[in-house]
Structure 1
């Protein structure tokens, strides 16, 4: 839990550095909200779980890169908990990577099953290509395959100079695939 909050605090600093108006933002820590209202959280969780088939949950587990026959109980519960967060935290907009689409759709499917007319709005973003050949997405485990907010100008320049960029437009290049999704600020 401590690691999650450390990453969350880091992201808050990234948003501040990006110019986000913090006077209009309220950050919630799910763990604190669940501790304050456990009956509400687990009641919502159980309602989602009883209206969702195991086969439907397993479809969401593929986002974690797990083979269906090797799933632990925790890995099966996790998508249900992600879905519960949407409703428990009263999120109007679910902003996650496209790799999380199945969990977002689980939340919308739950609305149908529960007779909820107002469904969460899903805002998905694609994964940024890795800077090295054959990488489907940037990876924090390989610092030279990604550009980080705290990278120096020199690091960004070096990484872009060494980025994979085929001469013909073959797709899958970090240099040509993300220009509409990126903002470079000097």
Structure 2
């Protein structure tokens, strides 16, 4: 699990619960099965799911207003309701639209399995099945979110789902719009040692001025605001470290109490990051 899923998820959940909400986690074990995680072994997938919950606890997530629902259990227990909704979404959606939503899985069309075609349909179904007041998802899920809202128009549903999208943390290499589990040096993992973290930060892409268009993120839909600098060091400062109340960042002989001024000294985070790690 990388820090975008671990620490950053804990930060976002805590913001929601601190504001008075109850956060419902949809533990997507069946979705992992459809995406052939852990070799398609559901028992192993469930073990990993339980591990992730423990990582979130260790990462500072306030569990007092959090509950976890396993997709395999809930869908099986409410099969008629769930699959009826899924079929209605499927019959009102074109195959072309569903294939576009499959891009969030990082799959090309010619490698998609039939199960993976079901993936976005079920994701969309989840939004209605859970009856959440607010759906909190990464902005990389935007296409599925829009599918859900457009489905409301088609089905005559007036109360469209409210989507709260969070930022996607950059990968450590140039032009990476998010961290990649398949590239260990593109991400900081919850299991990394202090030495690993320091090495990765020292080697991280840390530009001082905007790069040419060829080096920016490959998918503009991955982020909520335009950021020509795409500096992962500054990104982690803003969204991870400065999320801690009262945090002070030191870089060389400079001290920062807010993230904004750091962008003016983009070459300094390597020094300060390692000193504060």
Same fold judged by TM-score > 0.5?
yes
* Residue 38 (str. 1) matches residue 96 (str. 2): no
* Residue 77 (str. 1) matches residue 135 (str. 2): no
| TM-aligned CA deviation for residue 42 of structure 1 | 0.9
Structure 1 residue matching 2:89: 3-state secondary structure? helix
Task: Find the counterpart in structure 2 of residue 62 from structure 1.
Answer: 103
Task: Find the counterpart in structure 1 of residue 160 from structure 2.
Answer: 119
The whole-number CA distance in structure 2 between the counterparts of 1:24 and 1:33 is 20
The whole-number CA distance in structure 2 between the counterparts of 1:7 and 1:92 is 28
What per-residue deviation string (whole Å, max 9, x for no partner) do you get for residues 122-141 of structure 1? 12223222212343321222
Greater CA drift, 99-108 or 144-153:
144-153
The equivalent position to 1:24 in structure 2, one of 65, 68, 74, is 65
The whole-number CA distance in structure 2 between the counterparts of 1:154 and 1:70 is 38
Distance change in 2, residues 1:68/1:148 (3 Å): closer
Equivalence map 1:1-186=2 (5 Å): 1-68=42-109, 71-170=112-211, 171-183=229-241
Structure 1 residue matching 2:49: 3-state secondary structure? helix
The whole-number CA distance in structure 2 between the counterparts of 1:69 and 1:146 is 28
Distance change in 2, residues 1:126/1:56 (3 Å): same
The whole-number CA distance in structure 1 between the counterparts of 2:111 and 2:65 is 44
| TM-aligned CA deviation for residue 172 of structure 1 | 2.6
> RCO (CA 8 Å, sep 6+): is it higher in 1 or 2?
2
Query: Which runs of 5 or more residues in structure 2 are unaligned?
Result: 1-41, 212-228, 245-276
Query: Which runs of 5 or more residues in structure 1 are unaligned?
Result: none
Specify which structure has the higher proportion of strand: 2
Greater CA drift, 139-148 or 41-50:
139-148
Tell me how large the CA RMSD over aligned residues is: 2.4
